[in-house]
Amino acid sequence: MTVALAAATGGCVDAGLRRLDGRPVGWFRLQGGKRRGAIGPVEGDTIARLVAIAVDAGRPVVGVLDTSGADVSEGIASLHAWGRVASALARASGVVPIVLVVVGPCVSGPALLLGLADVVVMTTDAFAYVSGPDSVLAMTGRQPTPAALGGAAVHQLRSGVATLVVDDEDEALAASSDVLAFLPANNLELPPAHPCDDPVDRDCSIAAGAVPTSPTASYDMRTVVDDVIDRHSMLELRPDWAPSLVTALGRVGGRPVGVVANQPGRMAGTLDIEAAQKGARFVQWCDAFGLPLLTFVDTPGFLPGRDIEWRGMIRHGAELVHAYAAATVPRICVIVRKAYGGAYIVMDSKSLGSDLCVAWPTAEVAVMGAAGAVRVLHRRHLAAIADPTQQAREEAALVADYETRFCTPAIAAERGIIDDVIAPEDTRRIIAGALPLLADKREHLPRRRHANGPL
């Protein structure tokens, strides 16, 4: 059953309270009409009202968009129309989940609404952009196609706007339902638990065998994550954007969690600007809706380079720092292999407030890798050795000594940097045992209007 809103207004929007796969949601569809779903005053007022009602009712907002932008026939009133929708979505942010599904064009100012959503699902033939091909032609002398400018593949691979890309609207709605199944209806409810037949005390033998003994060999961190969480529960979000960092939803013992993990199979698991942005937005989202955070660490550091520094690695790296440090949900960190430098601190270290930080015996927790540290600390000593063979032998001995003295997880545990060194096979048991103990963790929020994060 659907409870319709403003059904007789004559606009190109349908809105109301309905069920999506049995779950109540605030629903709207902007599509059709004389100007292909263009937003005018009628459409703007209807959608804004729907969002407000959904917030009051504590229901997720799901919108389907096929819009040519603001309705120019209505003049400047159309600009204010989508502005009212933006204002309503901003007020709903963090209160109820917001999912927008793009099944055609979503252009001009209304395209900015996608940036306000928690989840954006696009079909392969959809496209979205703020300034269209004609504007690009006037500015650059070249006119791209809509797909090249803002097609689903662009937002899947380059911009990160698309959370998921699917073939058609039916799949898009199914994907939206899959995401919502991990989330509460609003920020005052707990994430929904599901029945689980995967024993929480089983060994993680697949995860233990997935990590190579060589510290420089690559592997797929998703294999580790998939074995630790409940079987077949992993739903990766934005898998093709910033692929050196994995963000996914999953369950442990039937209870939803958010997963952030370095991906050694891509750029060795280094953090770049896009990875920091991806992780920060995901951590903030999970914190808003009460999903505990599991972080899996295997990173040699931040991606080096002049271009990335010029583009603002400092500011964007700080976004991930801010998101983790501000998060109040239960947080568990597992150091799988490399945990070097500032990138290790950023990945939910104890100093950022992680509730439980454990490490596998293969972990190396240090300022940098042993080889790099030796070259910095003993540069003059090594340079003074004339015989190359003797120099290499001395360097190898210094590296081995540094690894023993500074890189082992036992040293980190002695200093309180990590809580424990665990067998890889025990990872699921320890996480599943800790999450219930942290479930009643209290928030300690300062009295302030809001933080000024490094956006």
Using CA atoms, how far apart are residues 290 and 400, in angstroms rounded to an integer? 44
Q: What are phi and psi of 106, to 5 degrees?
A: -150, 95
The CATH number for 3-180, chosen from 3.30.70.270, 3.40.50.1100, 3.90.226.10, 3.20.20.70, is 3.90.226.10
205-360+422-438 is a CATH 3.90.226.10 domain = yes
Using CA atoms, how far apart are residues 172 and 436, in angstroms rounded to an integer? 33
Using CA atoms, how far apart are residues 442 and 172, in angstroms rounded to an integer? 36
Averaged pLDDT score across all residues of the chain: 92
Q: Where are the domains of the chain?
A: 3-180, 205-360+422-438
Using pLDDT thresholds of 50, 70 and 90, give the confidence band for residue 330: very high
Going by C-alpha positions, the residue among 253, 261, 275 that lies closest to residue 211 is: 261
Mean pLDDT of 346-366: 94
Greatest CA separation for the chain? 89
pTM of the model: 0.94
In tens, the pLDDT along 366-411 reads 877 777 777 778 888 888 888 888 888 877 888 777 777 777 787 8
Q: Is residue 11 pLDDT above 90, yes or no? A: no
Strand partners, 366: 340
**Percentage of the residues of the chain whose pLDDT score is greater than 90:** 75
Q: How many CB atoms lie within 10 A of CB 118?
A: 26
Residue type, 69: G
Using CA atoms, how far apart are residues 245 and 392, in angstroms rounded to an integer? 35
Q: Apex CA 100: angle with CA 22 and CA 95, to 5°?
A: 75
Quick one: 120 exposed, middle or buried, by C-beta within 10 A (0-12, 13-18, 19+)? buried
In tens, the pLDDT along 185-232 reads 999 999 999 999 999 999 999 999 999 988 889 999 999 999 999 999
Per DSSP, 292 falls in state -
Going by C-alpha positions, the residue among 258, 414, 410 that lies closest to residue 333 is: 258
Task: Decide if 3-180 and 205-360+422-438 have a common fold.
Answer: yes
